[in-house]
Structure 1
Amino acid sequence: MVQRARLIYNPTSGNEGMKRYVADILAVMEAAGYEASAYQTTPAPFAAKKEAARATEAGFDLIVAAGGDGTINEVVNGVAPYEQRPKMAIIPAGTTNDYARALRIPREDPVAAAKIILKGQTLKMDIGQANNHYFMNIAAGGMLTELTYAVPSEFKSIFGYFAYVLKGAEMLPGVRSVPLHLEFDDGTYDGPASMFLLAMTNSIGGFEQIVPDASLGDGKFSLIVVKTGNLGDMLVLMAKVLNGGKHVDDANIIYAKTAKLVATRTDGEEMKINLDGEYGGSAPMTFVNLKQHIEMYANVAEIPQKNLGPDTEAKTAYMAEVENISQQDVDGNGKIGE
């Protein structure tokens, strides 16, 4: 029986360059054994989400999401609610492309990203659920996260994730702590915090040191709570992030693994929640990890083994690839080549 695949692509992603790659991407999907077709998103609200839901209901075997993290998030939201879900693949064409970075998918060449499907390597990835919304990479709240809403879209298009760095530097002196009540697996926290963050991969805003030990598909969020809003403390924490992720041991940080989080701001003021870089509603909010909820094509052999998590098939593929490379490096004398 022929398997069907649907490409859902955002024509405005990548400086509107995605359109010229569609034919080549469909050819790759066909070479992978799928009967392939494409859908171009429209400016209508949730166009990608609605098409992903329609394709899921129609029984498609694979959905390929091409665009920025926002487009990919929409496709995930279209697929995640169903009991029977297609596999997914992603073709990054956005600003930071955190999810592609974590899965080691090429970020500069859409056709090369599509060719990851030809490798046949997949990971069963966790998906976060927050009320009626789903997210695949991060959820966050607090004053530190509000800078993401303040970066104009055209600024992001020109400067990429450095736009966030520049805007963050501008806003940092005004950041302060707010009173939070957080309930997670290991207990509760009642006190001031400038931010809480839930992560499911090790790539956040283009940085891989923020959650250095992220384990893909383990059913747990990595929770970071920044208790301080002091500018000097924040600069110290940033330096520790860049110095190998040593911030996780700082007294101003709570770092824990949890399958669930309940977050409330206790002074009655609004706290906006960021889901995968976009506004996702306001606290109080409950976040639940849906373990290994969607099977994603990934460049498994390039992902550090420490980040692969409990997915036995992925680890087997990784070790097989490493062994294959090692064998190629052995010279005729049984010695590893220089």
Structure 2
Amino acid sequence: MVQETKRARLIYNPVSGQEIMKKHIADVLHILEQLGYEASAFQTTAEPNSAMDEATRAALTGFDLVIAAGGDGTINEVVNGIAPLKQRPHMAIIPTGTTNDFARALKIPRNNPIEAAKIIGKQQLVYQDIGLAYQDSYFINIAATGSLTELTYSVPSNMKTMFGYLAYLAKGVELLPQISNAPVKITYDDGVFEGDVSMIFAALTNSVGGFEQIAPDAKLDDGNFTLILVKTDNFLEISHLISLVIQGGKHIEDPRVEYIKTSQLTIEPQSDQRMMINLDGEYGGDAPITLRNLKNHISFFANTDEISGEALSFDPELKEIAEKFAHKVEDLGETEN
């Protein structure tokens, strides 16, 4: 009996990561062919939902594997094309974006398309939890709201391309003095929180904004979000919390932080203040919002040899950048005083 050839569809963002994928399309397709796939590629366009629509088409026409190549936004869009379907193909990612949070969690080589593609050959799958918001929007890494999360919207795309994660930190320092608390009611599995918060994170992985210790014990497949509530808007106190993150996730024991595991939650503003929701780094609507964890919803090829159930070591390069961020905040505080 002749074994049927598997089919793989590569969906890539041509402008992500200084157009790195355009230089390696032939190499990646060759690797896929060597792994036994009949491989083809689709280049996303500026049209809305380009990657999402192609992912849906590929899944419905029977592709066995869909590969998202680009930043977290491209990966999110491909996931949104597949997640609503009853029959979902395996997924793989080739990260070429700015922060590449999801790639960090799956231990996929970043900004190296050839090495990232080779991970597929290890045949190691993670049945990843997926977040659902507003009944029709899916996310793979983070849902967030609060003053500091708005910096994602205010960093120009050309700055992201040129300066990467440093661009976010530079904008973050600028916005810290503007952080303010807002009253909120949050209903989750085991209770209700009512009070003032400056930031809310509902994380599916341990990597948030490049920091791999914000949710140090987050699991990829346990059916729970890691809900983090920051209860201070004092930028010096927030700077201290950042330093605790860098020191190995010690912030989760700080009284200014609520650290909760839950399979679902509802965020309800308790004032007229707008609360914009950030889904995987992009604007995803306004609160009130209900988030649900879809356990083991999509299977991803991952480098499971390097994934630990325990807290992971902080990326040395990002640690250096984050320390500079903390020092800038301290300098800003001294200037204010």
1:162 aligns with 2:166: yes
Residues 305 and 213 (structure 1 numbering): CA distance in 2 closer, same or farther, change over 3 Å? closer
Shift of 1:231: 1.9
State whether residues 219 and 309 of structure 2, in contact with CA within 8 Å, keep that contact through their aligned partners in structure 1: no
| Partner-residue secondary structure (3-state), 1:207 | coil
Q: Which residue of 1 aligns with 2:109?
A: 106
1:115 aligns with 2:118: yes
| Partner-residue secondary structure (3-state), 1:222 | strand
The runs of 5 or more residues in structure 1 that have no matched partner are 309-338
| Partner-residue secondary structure (3-state), 1:215 | coil
Distance 1:243 1:19 in 2: 38
Q: Which residue of 2 aligns with 1:295?
A: 299
Q: Which residue of 2 aligns with 1:335?
A: none
What amino acid is the match of 2:140? M
Q: Which residue of 1 aligns with 2:234?
A: 230
Distance 1:269 1:206 in 2: 28
What amino acid is the match of 2:192? T
Matched residue pairs, number?
A: 308
Aligned counterparts, 1:251-262, within 5 A: 251-262=255-266
Aligned counterparts, 1:112-151, within 5 A: 112-131=115-134, 132-151=136-155
Shift of 1:234: 1.0
Q: Which residue of 2 aligns with 1:191?
A: 195
What amino acid is the match of 1:298? A
State whether residues 215 and 307 of structure 1, in contact with CA within 8 Å, keep that contact through their aligned partners in structure 2: no
1:17 aligns with 2:50: no
Aligned-residue CA RMSD in angstroms? Answer: 1.1
What amino acid is the match of 2:138? Y
Distance 1:104 1:307 in 2: 14
Q: Which residue of 1 aligns with 2:248?
A: 244
Distance 1:98 1:141 in 2: 17
Q: Which residue of 2 aligns with 1:36?
A: 39
Deviations 1:97-132 (A, max 9, x none): 111111111103101100001111110000000011
State whether residues 224 and 261 of structure 2, in contact with CA within 8 Å, keep that contact through their aligned partners in structure 1: yes
Distance 2:201 2:250 in 1: 16
Shift of 1:307: 6.7
Q: Which residue of 2 aligns with 1:311?
A: none
Shift of 1:88: 0.1
State whether residues 232 and 238 of structure 2, in contact with CA within 8 Å, keep that contact through their aligned partners in structure 1: yes
| Partner-residue secondary structure (3-state), 1:71 | helix
1:86 aligns with 2:89: yes
Aligned equivalent of 1:174, options 171, 178, 186: 178
What amino acid is the match of 1:246? K
Query: 4+ residue stretches of structure 1 with deviation over 3 A?
Result: none
1:282 aligns with 2:286: yes
1:62 aligns with 2:57: no
What amino acid is the match of 1:61? D
The runs of 5 or more residues in structure 2 that have no matched partner are 313-337
What TM-score, normalized by structure 1, do the two folds share? 0.89
| Partner-residue secondary structure (3-state), 1:14 | coil
Distance 1:172 1:104 in 2: 31
| Partner-residue secondary structure (3-state), 2:84 | coil
Shift of 1:306: 2.8
Q: Which residue of 2 aligns with 1:8?
A: 11
State whether residues 269 and 288 of structure 2, in contact with CA within 8 Å, keep that contact through their aligned partners in structure 1: yes
What TM-score, normalized by structure 2, do the two folds share? 0.90
